[in-house]
């Protein structure tokens, strides 16, 4: 009967799905109930009696544990002339070695027990027996069983133990072998797992369970950072290789690129970190990689300038200065398609957006003179002709380009005619040029007009060509 019960229990265990957990350093409590069968002196019949125990267990590894238990049972034998029933109460200490660490765990057990026994028997029997009650006995229980993980925390257990007793009077009879017995029990065990950091990642088991990380693997997402680092130090997601979904692993962002693994766009320039590193080759830690006062995003998406070159068109003006200050094109050296590049126009004060002012008179220093070649007056007249407009426009743009400059407009004539008349004529002509510039917007205080008549000829007055050269207007810088 006992053998059938054990076989049936094992078959039941094999048929049920199992749950496993690492019990290292954990503990358990439980109860068992079953039967006890006397295996002592030669009685005609050994009757199975109930057995019960409550126990606590400590796991030192996932396979080895120690169990201490409080046990209550009976054993009984029937024969002629003596029948008996003995009450057994005691405590045991058993070592258990699981042969498997899974949810289905066959195991071996062995240990020591101390119990009291109080047999009752037929007093009419004329046999030699000991009248002392509640005696102590020492036993060595050995055997094994199978446990089945019903859930992660609850286990169903079937066990069989043979109790080798160092005593021969559990049944009051002396003689023959010592009075051994067998127990077969089944019960439920509640497992208490150790809240430990088995994988040494800095997170306890309960915390890992709550977060969904693997308590047996230090780096759940295999990104090169252990779970504890991610949770406690970097605040990244230990379940995702790339916490911010920017295409870079958390490990690379932290250790290689020094970018923020929690922000897809570390520098906030609207380009994600991977795009900057792999495509645009810009600095993901600086919104303006080349320091030209234009963000990398603006250069790439709006202005089509080079985010890694401060001066894309190489005209001497940074891209930001061209876009934000001068409104010139950072892609063209000469925005107005004149003859002077943007930087040169800005430096001298002309408008880089207006090609009309590209050509001016180059007056380098105070006292320098320039002949305004091309100014034409009617004979004996001080009226400026239309043909003079081009050279006068240059003079105007020059004054505009150098707002601090002051000049003297000097008028000269040839030697034909009276000297006094020529001097008056040269003054009027110089005044006409001055007035033309004032009418264009140049402050009158910046211009002095003076007629020198036929003084300082630059060619011979004996020839027609020479006299033509002497009839001139000169532009001299005073300041």
pLDDT in tens, 65-88: 999 999 999 888 776 556 778 889
Q: Which of 234, 220, 260, 198 is nearest to 59 (CA)?
A: 198
Is 80 exceeded by the pLDDT of residue 121? no
Q: Which of 403, 402, 455, 451 is nearest to 431 (CA)?
A: 451
Q: How far apart are the first and last CA of the chain?
A: 129
CA of residue 446 relative to chain centroid, distance: 65
Contact 13/146 with Cβ under 8 angstroms? Answer: yes
Report which secondary-structure segment, H or E, holds 39.
strand 27-39
Contact 473/421 with Cβ under 8 angstroms? Answer: no
4 compared with 154, residue with greater pLDDT: 154
Tokens of 458: 């630059």
Cα separations (Å) of 2 from 48, 56, 180, 374?
9, 26, 16, 134
Mean of pLDDT over the chain: 86
Of 155-159, 297-301, 387-391, 450-454, which range is least confident?
387-391
- What mean pLDDT is predicted for residues 232-241? 95
Q: Which of 81, 13, 2, 84 is nearest to 48 (CA)?
A: 2
Tokens of 421: 């008349």
- What mean pLDDT is predicted for residues 299-315? 94
- What mean pLDDT is predicted for residues 326-337? 92
Q: Which of 46, 45, 64, 66 is nearest to 55 (CA)?
A: 66
Strand, helix or coil for residue 277: helix
Residue-wise pLDDT tens digits, 34-58: 999 888 766 656 788 999 999 999 9
Is 80 exceeded by the pLDDT of residue 318? yes
* Strand-strand pairing, 83-98 and 64-78: antiparallel
Place of tokens 């859930």: 151
Of 230-239, 273-282, 382-391, which range is least confident?
382-391
In the chain, pLDDT over 70 holds for what percent of residues?
Answer: 89
Cα angle 147, 152, 157 (rounded to 5 degrees) comes to 15
pTM reported for the whole predicted model: 0.54
In the chain, pLDDT over 90 holds for what percent of residues?
Answer: 48
Cα separations (Å) of 370 from 391, 395, 444, 461?
11, 10, 20, 21
CA 180, 182, 187, 189 torsion: positive or negative? Answer: positive
Of 22-31, 37-46, 213-222, 317-326, which range is least confident?
37-46
Burial of 167 (0-12, 13-18, 19+ CB in 10 A): middle
- What mean pLDDT is predicted for residues 289-314? 94
* Strand-strand pairing, 369-371 and 180-192: unpaired
CA 452, 458, 460, 466 torsion: positive or negative? Answer: negative
Is 80 exceeded by the pLDDT of residue 413? yes
Q: Which of 107, 90, 89 is nearest to 98 (CA)?
A: 107
Tokens of 433: 């040029």
DSSP string, 136-201: EEEEEEEEEEEEEESSSSEEEEEEEEEEEES-S-TTSB-SSS--EEEEEEEEEEEEE-----TT-S
């Amino acid at each position: 009967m006992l053998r059938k019960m054990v076989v049936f229990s094992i078959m039941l265990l094999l048929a049920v799905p199992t749950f496993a957990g690492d019990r290292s350093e954990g503990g358990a409590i439980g109860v068992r109930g079953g039967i006890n069968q006397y295996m002592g002196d030669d009685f005609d019949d050994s009757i199975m009696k109930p057995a019960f125990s409550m126990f606590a267990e400590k796991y030192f590894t996932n396979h080895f544990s120690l169990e201490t238990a409080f046990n209550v049972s009976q054993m009984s034998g029937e024969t002629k002339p003596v029948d008996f029933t003995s009450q057994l109460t005691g405590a045991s200490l058993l070592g258990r070695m699981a042969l498997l660490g899974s949810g289905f765990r066959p195991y071996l057990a062995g240990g020591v027990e101390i119990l009291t026994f109080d047999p009752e028997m037929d007093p009419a029997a004329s046999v030699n027996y000991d009248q002392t009650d509640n005696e102590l006995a020492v036993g060595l229980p050995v055997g094994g069983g199978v446990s089945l993980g019903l859930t992660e925390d609850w286990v169903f257990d079937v066990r069989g133990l043979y109790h080798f007793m160092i005593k021969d009077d559990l049944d009051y009879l002396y003689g023959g072998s010592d009075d051994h017995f067998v127990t077969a029990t089944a019960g439920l065990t509640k497992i208490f797992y150790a809240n430990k950091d088995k994988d040494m990642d800095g997170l306890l088991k309960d915390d890992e369970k709550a977060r969904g990380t693997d308590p047996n693997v230090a780096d759940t997402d295999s990104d090169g950072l252990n779970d504890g680092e991610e949770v406690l130090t970097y605040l990244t997601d230990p379940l995702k290789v790339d916490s911010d979904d920017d295409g870079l692993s958390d490990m690379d962002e932290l250790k290689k690129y020094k970018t923020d693994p929690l922000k897809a766009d570390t520098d906030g320039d609207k380009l994600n970190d991977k795009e900057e590193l792999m495509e645009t080759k810009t600095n993901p830690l600086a919104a303006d990689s080349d320091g030209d006062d234009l963000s990398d995003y603006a250069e790439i998406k709006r202005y089509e300038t080079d985010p890694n070159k401060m001066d894309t068109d190489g005209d001497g003006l940074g891209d930001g200065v061209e876009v934000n200050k001068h409104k010139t094109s950072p892609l063209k050296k000469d925005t107005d398609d004149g003859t002077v590049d943007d930087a040169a126009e800005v430096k001298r004060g002309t408008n880089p957006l207006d090609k009309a002012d590209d050509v001016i008179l180059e007056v380098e220093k105070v006292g320098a003179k320039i002949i305004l070649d091309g100014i034409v007056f009617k004979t004996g007249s001080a009226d400026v002709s239309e043909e003079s407009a081009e050279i006068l426009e240059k003079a105007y743009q020059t004054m505009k380009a150098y707002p601090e400059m002051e000049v003297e407009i000097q008028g000269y004539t040839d030697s034909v005619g009276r000297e006094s008349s020529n001097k008056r004529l040269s003054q009027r002509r110089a005044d006409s040029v001055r007035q033309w510039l004032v009418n264009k917007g140049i402050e009158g205080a910046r211009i002095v007009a003076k007629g020198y008549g036929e003084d300082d000829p630059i060619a011979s007055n004996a020839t027609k060509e020479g006299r033509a050269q002497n009839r001139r207007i000169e532009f001299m810088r005073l300041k």
